[in-house]
A and B are shown apart, each in its own frame.
Chain A
Amino acid sequence: MSAASIARSGTLGQIGLLAGRSALHAIRTPAQLIFPIVFPLVLLAVNTSGLDAATQLRGFPTESYLDFALAVPFMQGALFAALNGGQDLARDIEHGFMDRLALTPMSGTALLVGQLGGALFTGILSAFIYLFVGLAIGAGIAAGAGGALVLIVLAVTICMAFACFGTFVALRAGSGQAVQGFFPLFFVMLFLSSAFFPRDLIEQDWFRTVATYNPVSYMVEGIRSLVITGWDAGALWPAFAISAGVIAVFLALSARALKTRLLRT
């Protein structure tokens, strides 16, 4: 595509071009698509059996650990999508693709938002697969069909929140290794949250405190509420608000980082 046609296509068209490229890359790299989808489902199967005894505890919110744990694959899928999206962007920086794009009339907004297309594609696809597999193996959505739709929207919003963070790291560091280096942090945040056990049943005070201050707990609890409680505004709004906040903050920081990176070019 020539520089003139890029300029004519407008910001939305440019976003579409880059998002399409990013999504196509995800489709053409099976490792990027299969592992983030399959691994969380394997862990779901193992944890559902291994932690089933927890449902016999007094105060456990549901009789099925599958229902309780169904939120976790959505979170893990979002983490993997963010990691892959960040690494793709870092690779584009390392290989000079971003530098070449900077020489075209493409707008900064298109560069930033378009690059998130791959993560968005993986996020939507994996969210539908997790929901479908969950329902197929016996999970129920207490909030009904409308709740399932909101669950997908929330899962994709969370995915975009993590992806914006991954984008920021990639733009700041410009290296895939740096993005990879942040993955354990995401992993730690997931494990030190209420992902595997309800907050009010966590016995260790320090762990409960960490889980209470950990924003990932509220994201998980938002998804979980739709599965086991039904429509619970008290659980849903923090999940949406935190995700939207993370998106806003890291998109703004990414825009600044992009400006700095393009100035260097």
Chain B
Amino acid sequence: MSTLARTRSVAAAVAWRGIHNAFTNPAFLLPSILFPLFFFIAFAGGLSGLQHAPNFEYAAGYTAFQFGFVCIQAAAFGGVFTGFAIAADFELGFARRLMLAAPNHGGIVIGYMLAAMARAAVVLAVVLVAGLVSGMDILGSVADMVALLALALAVNAISTLWSCGIAMRLRTMQAGPVMQMPIFILMFLAPVYVPLTLIAGWVQTVASYNPVTAMLEASRGFIAGEPTKVGIVAVCLVAMFAFSAYWARGGLRSAEAAG
């Protein structure tokens, strides 16, 4: 069996287990659905008056504006939830047995990532249905929506690799805050409630350099049918993916060394 075939086989097995666990145990799936759904309802419902603020310009309306944020947030936190699952696998001893049995350890990380992406796709579908039921306007084409899905899945993959790197280094559920806090801070130091130009003070300066800002603007651009900053986002995603993959690889080495 070639290295590629071994990697594929391990990745498929780990992904299948992750997907099976997620979809047969509501305690695993529900938080990842309810969390973004709640933010969507709370922000789109409670803050929609913001669309009447001077210079707030977004053609698809405030619900769609928040949908753009929730897509990226759901994808990012989906990766964090997968990190929790990896840490739990280590605490329960499953991950160590898995590493003894698997002929290729890189496949384990890829498997976790594929499972996270499958789960994120379902969460995004649920949030989309909630948005459409609440009367959200989507002005983008099918191609724009596919691009939005690709963007969200790429964010999910990056977040999973980041969380995986931490989970494999610390190998405890107590590492949860270390996984989610940086992502939470990056998400909220971006134009969450209003466009970048309407943010005041130092947060606007930070948000201007935050790659999540470009991702949110791209995601909202796809929904409004006016793709924007696609090139910048692609570069950011490639760079962040390379960094997080390197980070996850370091975590894997650490877990291997720990035995």
Residues B45 and A206 in contact, CB atoms below 8 Å apart: yes
Give the shortest distance, in Å, between A30 (CB) and chain B (any CB). 14
Q: Give the number of A-B contacts (CB < 8 Å).
A: 77
A-contacting residues, B149-194, CB 8 Å: 185, 188-189, 191-194
The reply to whether the CB of B132 lies closer than 8 angstroms to some CB of chain A is no
- Give A48 to B199 CA distance when docked, in angstroms: 9
Number of A interface residues in the complex (CB < 8 A): 27
- Give A47 to B54 CA distance when docked, in angstroms: 18
The reply to whether the CB of B48 lies closer than 8 angstroms to some CB of chain A is yes
Q: Which residues of A contact B52 (CB under 8 A)?
A: 57
Residues A53 and B42 in contact, CB atoms below 8 Å apart: no
Q: How large is the interface on B (under 10, 10 to 19, 20 to 34, 35 or more residues)?
A: 20 to 34
Among candidates B46, B189, B202, residue contacting A204 with C-beta atoms closer than 8 Å: B46
Residues B189 and A46 in contact, CB atoms below 8 Å apart: yes
Q: Which of B50, B56, B199 has the most CB of A within 10 A?
A: B50
Binds B, one of A122-130, A144-152, A194-202, A251-259: A194-202
Residues B191 and A50 in contact, CB atoms below 8 Å apart: yes
The reply to whether the CB of A229 lies closer than 8 angstroms to some CB of chain B is no
- Give A227 to B86 CA distance when docked, in angstroms: 46
Residues in A lying within 8 Å of B, measured CB to CB: 42-43, 45-54, 56-57, 65, 188, 191-192, 196-197, 201-204, 206-207, 211
Q: Which of B45, B46, B198 has the most CB of A within 10 A?
A: B46
Q: Which of A49, A54, A192 has the most CB of B within 10 A?
A: A49
Residue of A nearest to B48 (CB): A203
- Give A50 to B45 CA distance when docked, in angstroms: 17
Among candidates A48, A49, A53, A211, residue contacting B56 with C-beta atoms closer than 8 Å: A53
Give the shortest distance, in Å, between B145 (CB) and chain A (any CB). 25
Residues A57 and B194 in contact, CB atoms below 8 Å apart: no
Q: Which residues of A contact B45 (CB under 8 A)?
A: 202, 204, 206-207
Give the shortest distance, in Å, between B21 (CB) and chain A (any CB). 20
A57-B52, A57-B53 given; A191·B46 CB < 8 A: yes
A49-B204, A191-B38 given; A203·B193 CB < 8 A: no
What per-residue 1/0 map shows which CB atoms of B194-209 lie under 8 Å from chain A?
1000111111100000
Q: Which residues of B contact A50 (CB under 8 A)?
A: 188, 191-194, 199, 203
- Give A45 to B189 CA distance when docked, in angstroms: 10
Give the shortest distance, in Å, between B69 (CB) and chain A (any CB). 11
A46-B188, A188-B38 given; A51·B46 CB < 8 A: no
Give the shortest distance, in Å, between A108 (CB) and chain B (any CB). 35
- Give A46 to B38 CA distance when docked, in angstroms: 19
Residues B47 and A197 in contact, CB atoms below 8 Å apart: yes
- Give A157 to B157 CA distance when docked, in angstroms: 45
Q: Which residues of A contact B231 (CB under 8 A)?
A: none
Residues B203 and A211 in contact, CB atoms below 8 Å apart: no
Give the shortest distance, in Å, between A61 (CB) and chain B (any CB). 13
Give the shortest distance, in Å, between A94 (CB) and chain B (any CB). 17
Residues A51 and B48 in contact, CB atoms below 8 Å apart: no
Residue of B nearest to A210 (CB): B45
